[in-house]
Amino acid sequence: DAGVTQSPTHLIKTRGQQVTLRCSPKSGHDTVSWYQQALGQGPQFIFQYYEEEERQRGNFPDRFSGHQFPNYSSELNVNALLLGDSALYLCASSLALTGTGNTIYFGEGSWLTVV
Amino acid sequence: GESVGLHLPTLSVQEGDNSIINCAYSNSASDYFIWYKQESGKGPQFIIDIRSNMDKRQGQRVTVLLNKTVKHLSLQIAATQPGDSAVYFCAGRGYNKFYFGSGTKLNVKP
């Protein structure tokens, strides 16, 4: 049973560029959330996708956008990269949008460095 | 606003001792909590969870305690081992989103 998988694992981008990160959820999961984790900090919620639509959003600018595909996989896009966007980007998957006790499982993350 | 925070940034324990990591949350509507372990360079790994209608839950060598009155939860690790060295996060769910604290680094001394 595959867990949450993310790609790429590491990448370096230049300020102003755009980046796309990819995530495949755990088998059987239909909800994908993205988190940004700066060094020495806890993960910060970016947004959540369910049924191919953005359902929840954290306090992140419109430069951060996403997409969910019919197979539940997801992409995170960041435009006009800033140095402060350098972080570990984590994808988490879960089953269904509502209900108690729906554990979220994380992938290993994509390390983004903006130079 | 939403916040989940930890009392101590670093905790050092002797191998074999018990560890207690604490976490406070602000949203009384939080209905579900998870503890994660994150090793260097890796994603958070699920340890144990607890629903708000419970005050204690036990796993293998780990116990989570929830005190809703003071909005506090703790993670107890029995017989701490070197492999337990990592950063531990608590996460609380509120308004269908999870909020994380900044983490506690657990150092296990041999």
Distances in Å between the Cα of A75 and the Cα atoms of A48, A68, A89, A90 are 11, 7, 11, 11
CB-based contacts of B51, cutoff 8 Å, min separation 6 = A100, A101, B31, B32, B33
pLDDT tens per residue across span A24-79: 999 989 999 999 999 888 899 999 999 999 998 999 999 999 999 999 999 999 99
Which residues partner with A68 through β-bridges? A74
Facing B31 at nearest CB: one of A40, A92, A100:
A100
Test A45 with B99 for CB contact under 8 angstroms.
Answer: yes
Which chain A residue has the Cα nearest residue B100? A42
Residues on A contacting B at a C-beta cutoff of 8 Å: 4, 33, 35, 40-45, 48, 55-56, 58, 88, 90, 92, 97-98, 100-109
Number of domains in chain A: 1
CA–CA separation, A111 and A8 (whole Å) = 8
Nearest to B23 by CA among B48, B43, B45, B42: B48
Widest CA span in chain B: 42
B91: three-class secondary structure by DSSP: strand
Confidence of residue B97 (pLDDT cuts 50, 70, 90): confident
CA–CA separation, A19 and B102 (whole Å) = 26
pLDDT tens per residue across span B15-42: 999 999 999 988 888 889 999 999 988 9
Res B95: pLDDT: 74
Facing A103 at nearest CB: one of B43, B49, B102:
B49
Residues on B contacting A at a C-beta cutoff of 8 Å: 4, 31-32, 34, 36, 42-46, 49, 51, 89, 91, 95-103
pLDDT tens per residue across span B40-73: 889 999 999 999 999 999 999 999 999 999 999 9
Looking up tokens 């993350």, which residue turns up?
A: A109
Instruction: Tell me the backbone φ, ψ of residue A99, rounded to 5 degrees.
Output: 105, 155
Test B32 with A104 for CB contact under 8 angstroms.
Answer: no
What CATH number is given to the structural domain containing A60? Answer: 2.60.40.10
Confidence of residue B1 (pLDDT cuts 50, 70, 90): very low
What structural domains and CATH numbers belong to chain B? Answer: 4-109 (2.60.40.10)
- Residue range of the domain that includes A84: 5-114
3-state percent helix, strand, coil for chain B, nearest multiple of 5 = 5, 55, 40
